[in-house]
Structure 1
Amino acid sequence: MATVAAEMRAEGVNVINFSVGEPDFNTPPHIIRAGKKAMDEGYTKYTAGPGMIEFRKAICEKLKRENDITYTPADILVSNGEKQSLYNVCQALFEAGDSVIVFRPYWVSFPEFVRLADAEPVLVDTVPEHNFEPDFNDLQVKKSPDVKGVIVNSPSNPTGGVWGEDALLRLLKIAKENSWVVISDECYERLVYEGEFYSTEKLNRDHQIGANVVTCLSLSKT
């Protein structure tokens, strides 16, 4: 859809494109100035594999300030966009014979990340009347010893659904009981207009559930 929209726009058609999650305004001037200043000062070389230490410290500060979660720079990995982070996580955690829970409707790339790791996505229904939270009856039917992880996306692309605290806690407890890794895509954390956003790892820590959670965030949505 993004390709079609770009082609139509090139032909002079006034297109409102809802297919890509990106701001509808240009990069703010102060960010452009900061980028130019960094290049002028020589920040143009290879960085450490996990990312610049200054950047990882800034991410830790953000997570403490906005999400009330304490991390160290050693906990943070920076990639070329969250899409690469999600791919990297699946490559690191899953292999042939594994299954991964993906809730539908889903962002188009979630099942493909799993397949690229030679694992199998297991599609589980959600409940539209309840903000597209998991259908736990369907989850019970679909889970098996082969399942090694579950992908969470709240707020969701494409539904916009924001999962409540109870649904996330229930899923975290199931993940803990079954030794699943929870991959939480939270790139739309600031785009919540009704209700409240809950960080998966914040709930995991506050309620001492002890599930293994990998949180993926993005800089391009707000």
Structure 2
Amino acid sequence: MSGCSRSSTEHWATRGSAAPAGKRWKCKRGETVSESVSRIPETRKAQRTRARLVEATEAEISESGFFTAERVAARAGTSVATFYSHLPTKDAALTAAFGGVMDALVAVVDEHLSVERLLDRGLEVVSKDFVAACLDFFTARSLVFRCALARMPEHRPLREVYRAHESDAFSRYTRFVELGQAAGKIGSGDPETLARTLLVLSQGLNNPLALGLVDGDPLGEQLARLVLVLLAPKIGERG
């Protein structure tokens, strides 16, 4: 039977190893078996395989500035056919890898710009640690950013990934500023304006002149100072 009869209410399809053990997948009314199978969620094994391929793509770009399906598949311990079954095009692979990198960047923001850290360590230390963490992050992944930014004008999904994460980071910056102001540790001013300025400053850290700085480099210290000056309470606001 190739599909579901419109006179019947359901049809059952299986997908071999992709189907949960001991269970069958129900076909909707009027739906072919192929259409039904396409709705079956990825197995955990498939999810792990895709994750390995995405990680391998990022690693290949980080090491050499480019990647091929063959090299990524070999690094992930799988086949080229498996690569293309999970990542149909090289643009899809680059977009997935870039999305993972941007997720990690947002995690850096969460780790270093928290009100708990601000209260515990003070704004000067938080500013210095945040700038240092961003510089380390961008240095380690500079080639991934370079590849993604070069392809971004022609590939809409890359632009969407970038904009979505930029919006997410902006929301987190704004929340950090609002909480810091409420605690009296960040100066007065429109939180969104301060957050937008901080976002632009942090994006500017992904600059070849700033990448690879060693501890104590005057440029790194000046960049941290910019963040401190932006956020610090003015003299009349300090308790």
**TM-score by structure 2 length?**
0.24
- The structure that has the greater radius of gyration is 2
- Between structures 1 and 2, the one with greater helix share: 2
- Between structures 1 and 2, the one with greater strand share: 1
